[in-house]
Amino acid sequence: MFKNKKILITGGSGSLGFALTKRLLTLDVDTIRILSRNESKQTAMEAEIGSDRIRYLIGDTRDLPRLEKALEGIDIVFHAAALKHVPVIEYNPFEAIKTNVIGTQNVIDACLKQNVETLVGISSDKAVSPLNTYGATKLLMEKLLTTAHNYLNKEKHRTKFLALRYGNVLGSSGSVLPKFIRQIKAKEKITITDPNMTRFSMTMDQALDFILESAKAGKGSELFIPKLKAYSINDLKDALFELLEDTGVKILGIRPGEKMHESFINFDEVRYAWEYDDKCVLFNATKKDDDIKKIYPEIQRIEFAEKYTSNKVERISLKDLKQIILNSGFLEN
């Protein structure tokens, strides 16, 4: 699917875009265009990767004309650009709407105009029964992508639209792991909101596999969700103290808009949830079962009795959690 393809990644200078770019370069893609607002990260990325197949474009998803120009000749778009820090967005909610919602619609419109082959939007577990503004914008993003086929003129357009919902990548720049490691190395107490809080365990390699496999599997209008194990913040603390040293803990309490447990599928969504190719799949609730089975003959109804949350799935072992931390490379920094 990716060989000789021209690919654009919005928000491509972020941690996910950086890792995705490196993986795509191993798949013999023709060109990768990185579209983001951060010139410093783009410069650092160019210096580290140094491939002549990458083009770096300064731009914002809020700017439709810039998107249309950037997408000329592109086959596949990975839409990862977003405002995502929960407390910041709670203080600046409409800025998140401009980027996460209006920006997504701009990407959809630009893909239709340039007749892009596939658009893959990166969502978040916080879109499930959203408690904060960030989650609400990501839920709207999912809805825009899974209904974008309503705009298709089959005689003019070939674009497949799909969305991916998953949680924080353990070890990414936005996760608590690098922060905890910095605090321990500085001989400080690590700051924990609640030790009983649980999160799904997903490494960057797992995230990349999920993104690329979903892009291949998608026929259009799907919301794909991975099947994962989970860990508690207390588990993460114990693993780090065993690998480094016990510097103590300071409990801060849950931040505004933060959830105790991650949810991938809520109670109501379970009624519309399917299982396909070792992934969970949600479609628009108006899509009929018979139509879904025509597209996916091997698809099955999901096995979850209630909902898919991080406090109800299998826990990752302390041994495996320690190995993930070691593989992340953050201990070496």
Q: Which residues are catalytic?
A: 126
Please classify residue 152 by burial: count the beta carbons closer than 10 Å to its beta carbon, then call 0-12 exposed, 13-18 middle and 19+ buried. middle
Q: Which amino acid is at 132?
A: N
What distance in Å separates the CA atoms of residue 157 and residue 142, rounded to the nearest whole number? 20
Q: 271-298: string of b/e by CB count within 10 Å (b at 16+)?
A: ebbbbbeebbbbbeeeeeeeebeeebee
Please list, in sequence order, all residues whose beta carbon lies within 8 angstroms of the beta carbon of residue 232, skipping any fewer than 6 positions away.
195, 196, 197, 198, 199, 315
Check: CB of residue 8 under 8 Å from CB of residue 33. yes
Please classify residue 52 by burial: count the beta carbons closer than 10 Å to its beta carbon, then call 0-12 exposed, 13-18 middle and 19+ buried. exposed
Check: CB of residue 68 under 8 Å from CB of residue 40. no
Length of the chain: 333
Check: CB of residue 170 under 8 Å from CB of residue 123. no
3-state SS, one letter per residue, for 109-169: HHHHHHCCCEEEEECCHHHCCCCCHHHHHHHHHHHHHHCHHHHCCCCCCCCEEEEECCCCC
Beta bridge partners of 130: none
Beta bridge partners of 274: 281, 301
Q: Which DSSP symbol is given to 331? A: G
